[in-house]
Structure 1
Amino acid sequence: MKNNLQIATLGGGCFWCTEAVFQEVKGVEKVVSGYAGGHAPGKPTYREICSGLTGHAEVIQITFNADLISYEDILVIFMTTHDPTTLNLQGADKGTQYRSVIYYHNDHQKLISKEVLKQIQNYYDDKIVTEISPLPVFYEAEKEHQNYYRENSQQGYCSYVIAPKLSKLRKLHADKLK
């Protein structure tokens, strides 16, 4: 089977959570945690991002094989494993760095993003506030933020915040898992 590799860039709160979710999805080749969408010059650091002053969001870049999973399916998983109705808030994580955002890479992704959000809205009582924007510069996060859940699953945040998201993923999207 040929590799039809594509990239999706998504922010749904803490990147440790979204990274852990997509590392379990069939067709996903690689997930890289990082930052995008800010206004501060130069490559931001985690500490700067956490201040909320740079304007960057914590995001992940997903490299996926579109022959095995579609961009639409990636977005449906994304939209159902975080709360896309809370502005700059995911659980206890508050600030613009935790906003719900889809950064599209081309016009086709933009079109699919808008369509998926329109369809998903029917499943939520509150209005979806997920931002859809063209991909700005993506900055890879520091090494200690890559594969975070896999390397720190016993840590408190992982047990209380990430593990329930993974349970939701496994329940809602069992057919899409590795």
Structure 2
Amino acid sequence: MSNKNSEIATVGGGCFWCTEAVFQEVKGVEKVVSGYSGGSVPGHPTYREICSGLTGHAEVVQITFDASKISYEDILVIFMTTHNPTTLNRQGADKGTQYRSVIFYHNDAQKQIAETVVKEMARYYEDPIVTEISPLDVFYEAESQHQNYYKNNKEQGYCGFVITPKLAKLRNLHADKLK
């Protein structure tokens, strides 16, 4: 599935089910994997451990994309406009450091682009952006039941009340970037 133009972006915008569903609709995205990053507890964490808020990890997605079809900058603009980057350790009813807004960069070029995008996006928000920009240390893939969550669970209340509106926002703001 990946090709020579494949790159990886790792971002967290609250619950990974939402962020995964958003990026699965974006043109040029080859794969989206839900997982955990940014913590300091050794070993592969479980969803239950992450939910405790004690691991330091955030719920994130790792996005493999074709850079000849969509840029890393465009990935970040979509990310910044489909979640609330101004709420510290919170997205809607989800509270805790595991739901923080975060961009984990893979190299210096990504770091520079992330800093620029966050700075440029600040003018569109009334409150200050609190999105963390940090180097990616390790990415842990989440358990299988968390992969393709929206596609497999559209009838669930959380999907209807939280994810479906985010997808509507995506379609409204970024129609030209969708599959």
Q: Could you say which TM-score interval applies, normalised by the shorter chain?
A: over 0.9
Match of 1:108 in 2: 109
- CA shift, 1:3, in A, is 4.3
Secondary structure of the residue aligned to 1:120 is: helix
Q: 5 Å matches for 1:16-165?
A: 16-165=17-166
Amino acid at match of 2:70: I
Secondary structure of the residue aligned to 1:74 is: helix
- CA shift, 1:136, in A, is 1.3
The one-character-per-residue Cα deviations of 1:5-40 (angstroms, maximum 9, x if unpaired) are: 000000000000000000000000000000001111
Aligned partners of 2:12, 2:70: CA distance in 1, in Å? 19
Secondary structure of the residue aligned to 1:33 is: strand
Aligned partners of 2:42, 2:118: CA distance in 1, in Å? 31
Aligned partners of 1:3, 1:21: CA distance in 2, in Å? 24
Q: Which aligned segments of 4 or more residues in structure 1 are displaced greater than 6 angstroms?
A: none
Would you say how many aligned residue pairs link Structure 1 and Structure 2?
177
Amino acid at match of 2:16: F
Structure 2 stretches lacking a partner, 5+ long: none
Amino acid at match of 1:20: A
Aligned partners of 1:19, 1:3: CA distance in 2, in Å? 23
Aligned partners of 1:9, 1:118: CA distance in 2, in Å? 19
Secondary structure of the residue aligned to 2:137 is: coil
TM-score by length of 1: 0.98
Structure 1 stretches lacking a partner, 5+ long: none
The one-character-per-residue Cα deviations of 1:75-97 (angstroms, maximum 9, x if unpaired) are: 00000000000000000000000
Q: Is the 8 A contact 1:3 1:67 kept in 2?
A: no
Q: CA RMSD in A?
A: 0.7
Q: Is the 8 A contact 1:22 1:31 kept in 2?
A: yes
Amino acid at match of 2:133: I
TM-score by length of 2: 0.98
- CA shift, 1:41, in A, is 1.2
Amino acid at match of 1:131: E
Identity %: 77
Match of 1:14 in 2: 15
Q: Is the 8 A contact 1:89 1:98 kept in 2?
A: yes
The one-character-per-residue Cα deviations of 1:36-78 (angstroms, maximum 9, x if unpaired) are: 0111111000000000000000000000000000000000000
